[in-house]
Structure 1
């Protein structure tokens, strides 16, 4: 059980690490592509500069037609500058949109892989405990949404195991017997604690099997409470 918990924790950590590295790689690649693209784009004022050079270098262009031609060229340069500026804005928006899409795809992919791993762990584990409530007064255990009645000794054993689990402790049979009986662990027998664990397993296990597997039909008999399509006999 501890190995399953640790593997799930490691899987979550590795998934977060993959997401972080993937997002960083995507942002870095797109930033590099954006910088390369913007650097290689022509200068928006290059055309206007060439037209201005024509005015300066050709002082003989004084006729009305020549001046009109140069004015048309200047207007074309201004239009080219405006179009190029709009292209820069469009390219920037597209790069931001592409970054968002790639990051979202990466997150969804990692989430899908994590869910598949989790489902595989649940299938291997059988019953996945999502909540455990122990009522000592009523001698009742609420496992997920199922209610089980236990003896006072079984409730004490389960309560001690639950407290030890919250403290990340592993108890030996002698320690369990000592905590229940109030004696020193050195004065307790390992077999006594093991017997308490066996009785707890028998009492709780029988009820879980009755709840999940073997169903009692009043005045008729018994049957398995599972889908017939999942049964395989070899």
Structure 2
């Protein structure tokens, strides 16, 4: 609506600033009136040519007005079509994301410590040793139905007392694990962030295997 309003204001400004189609004819008529003493054949012929030129100019100017009006309508239609297609693409993207989320189900999770890798269904991910440790801790907690805070994760990996560990350190380990997994959709499905509680794996206990 804002774009259409801007185009409408622009069109009004252009039409207001364009000279009237009969302005040239009015000026020629004024010359006839002010110079009624022109009697020679050449002078009269000149005035006739001016009058004909004024008529041609009026026709051209009227055509320009129509062309400008059509171009403005065309521009407004293109902008509206672009907005509609953009909204359709956004809606389609959200729908595809929902379908992908619903279609991906973690049926098996196998952690290979010796190879620094994890098998998620039929997909294999190579992780850093630190990411493997974080994932292993989360897997053990999931098998015990526990939810770990960032401080607990840091304590279990580093071997320090939980009171001496920072919540942000565990959150950093979770972030690095998700970065190692790479695929944002997979990482969000695999590692859940439970508000005010901590982190947990979204995997059934019997689907987890740590080697």
**TM-score when normalising by structure 2:** 0.50
**TM-score when normalising by structure 1:** 0.45
